[in-house]
Amino acid sequence: MRIVVVQVVALVVDATNFITASESSVQAFKTATLLKTLSVNSLITGEEGVGKKTLAHYILPDATVIEASDFDELLSALESVNEIIIINLENSPNIKRVLDAIKTNSVRVIATARRSFSNEHIDEIFSVKFDIPPLCQRSEDVEKLIEIFTEEASSLFSNDTKLCSENFTPDLSKNSYSLKRQVMIHSLFHDIKDGELMEIIENYLVDKLGSQSDYRNFLHLYEVPLIKAGLTRFKSQLQLSDKLGLNRNTLRKKIADNKQYL
């Protein structure tokens, strides 16, 4: 039997709790549930942080999990287990040998790989394929994840974190990984004191100082946040220059000097 599933979304919070805010996530849950009942091998492709590994856990909750780069361990496992989850298949030093071992030992496999991954022997082993789109294509799932990560951060740091959507641009560069990190940092700094903030900057700078241009090189660490916060709050350069007590031309020059960060 050969089944090919294209553009299926699945971002999982844990092994049993799927995000179902978007229609594509709902379909992913249905597809994954179906796969739990089928004795077929599946390859899940997608970017980092889209939920490939967690989806694999949902399909095979009791399976051994091995990173493909651990070549000898993987080959040994393929001779002793009935089912396995192979993470980052593209990192295997000899994919053909791994696929041959899967076929020879009749092991049930759920594998993950980069979205761009391809290999001439893949279709021989994997009857079901998933390509999981990045979070930037799933705004409903992003909103739900922000809620979940915010609640987790509030519990972890014992505060009442509030994210203002107007001033919060989700970092989806690494999908759920970068988004969670961003929410956690935002929560940590939610009620930070001046002294704590200065200590963080001090610790950041202590090993980086040493050249004769350090003052100029690191001035952006102060100026950029001040300018960005001011533009967000006061909406115009004219008002911001007045609030900062700067000449408008001076403010424009500072904005131009820091354009790579603004």
pLDDT given at position 165: 62
Of 148-157, 164-173, 191-200, 243-252, least confident by mean pLDDT is 164-173
pTM of the model: 0.76
Q: Which residue has the higher pLDDT, 28 or 82?
A: 82
- The mean pLDDT value for 95-117 works out to 93
**Mean model confidence pLDDT for the chain:** 87
- The mean pLDDT value for 91-106 works out to 94
- The mean pLDDT value for 158-185 works out to 85
Q: What is the pLDDT of residues 114-151, one digit of tens each?
A: 988 888 888 889 999 888 889 999 999 999 999 999 99
pLDDT given at position 51: 85
Alpha helices for the chain (secondary structure H): 23-35, 52-59, 71-78, 95-105, 122-125, 139-157, 176-188, 194-205, 214-218, 220-234, 237-244, 248-257
Q: Which residues contact 132 (CB under 8 A, 6 or more apart)?
A: 8, 9, 10, 11, 28, 44, 45, 46, 47, 50, 51, 52, 55, 115
pLDDT given at position 17: 64
Percent of the chain at pLDDT > 90 equals 55
Residue keyed to tokens 């988004």? 179
pLDDT band of residue 189 (cuts 50, 70, 90) is: confident
Instruction: Retrieve residue 79's tokens.
Output: 């001779």
pLDDT given at position 30: 81
pLDDT band of residue 2 (cuts 50, 70, 90) is: very low
* CATH level 3 topology of 194-262: Arc Repressor Mutant, subunit A (1.10.10)
Q: What is the pLDDT of residues 6-65, one digit of tens each?
A: 343 333 334 346 687 888 887 877 888 889 999 999 999 999 998 888 889 999 999 999
pLDDT given at position 196: 86
Instruction: Evaluate if residue 206 carries a pLDDT over 60.
Output: yes
- Do 244 and 251 contact (CB within 8 A), yes or no? yes
Distance between CA atoms of residues 163 and 160, nearest Å: 10
Instruction: Retrieve residue 190's tokens.
Output: 């939610």
* Residue ranges covered by each domain of the chain: 23-133, 138-191, 194-262
**23-133: CATH architecture:** 3-Layer(aba) Sandwich (3.40)
Percent of the chain at pLDDT > 70 equals 91
